[in-house]
């Protein structure tokens, strides 16, 4: 993590968890060749051409290409560095907009109480934080992400939590 003003820069660890279940959101509609595929982003319903990048082609071939029934993204491969997206530069919009961890919430300044992942999903076992989330934060009608982040940070800090915001 690197700090950019008051917002931390999220550094990807290449764990692959973000893509482990995205196979159900990205459907390959047609194979155009060894490296090109028409894909349907089922979240936006957009059709996009995905292009397998050269360095990943051998690993993608070894994986057996894509498997339609697989829950993991068809374009996720394991590399010595971790997991990689073989179509990263041509990935669908829902993949481009995905944010792994947008916020970490601490209780007493050091104990992790929860994280906000994806667009706006709380992951926590802290009952007080879950109550605050359900009573005040879930009801916020703010669409713009930056404004939403700052309002959530304010609500959480007013309740005694410490918040780290991340920019992916």
Strand order in the sheet with 101-107: 2-4, 7-9, 161-167, 101-107, 111-117, 121-124
Point out which residues pair with 4 in neighbouring strands: 7
pLDDT at site 1: 42
Dihedral sign of CA atoms 111, 131, 153, 17 in order: positive
Check whether 71 has a pLDDT greater than 80.
no
pLDDT at site 108: 84
pLDDT at site 65: 57
Encode pLDDT of 133-143 as tens digits: 999 998 888 88
% of the chain residues with pLDDT over 90: 29
pLDDT at site 2: 41
Residue-averaged pLDDT of the chain: 82
Residue 119's contacts (CB-CB under 8 Å, 6 or more residues apart) are 97, 99, 102, 145
Encode pLDDT of 76-133 as tens digits: 888 888 888 899 899 888 887 776 777 889 988 788 999 887 778 888 889 999 999 9
| 5 — pLDDT class (breaks 50, 70, 90) | very low
What mean pLDDT comes out for the span 50-61? 87
pLDDT at site 146: 85
């Amino acid at each position: 993590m690197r700090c950019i003003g008051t917002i931390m820069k999220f550094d990807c660890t290449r764990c692959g968890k973000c893509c482990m279940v995205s196979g159900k959101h990205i459907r390959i509609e047609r194979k155009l060749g060894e490296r090109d595929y028409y894909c349907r982003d089922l979240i936006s319903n957009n059709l996009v051409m995905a292009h397998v990048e050269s360095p990943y082609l051998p690993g993608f071939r070894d994986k057996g290409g894509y498997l339609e029934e697989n829950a993991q993204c068809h374009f996720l491969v394991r590399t010595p560095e971790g997991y990689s997206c073989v179509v990263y530069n041509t990935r669908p919009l829902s993949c481009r907009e995905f944010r792994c961890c947008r916020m970490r919430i601490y209780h007493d300044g050091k104990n992790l109480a929860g994280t906000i992942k994806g667009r706006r999903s709380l992951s926590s076992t802290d009952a007080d934080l879950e109550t605050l989330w359900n009573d005040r934060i879930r009801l916020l009608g703010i669409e713009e992400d930056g404004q939403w982040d700052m309002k959530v940070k304010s609500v959480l800090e007013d309740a005694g939590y410490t918040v780290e915001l991340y920019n992916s």
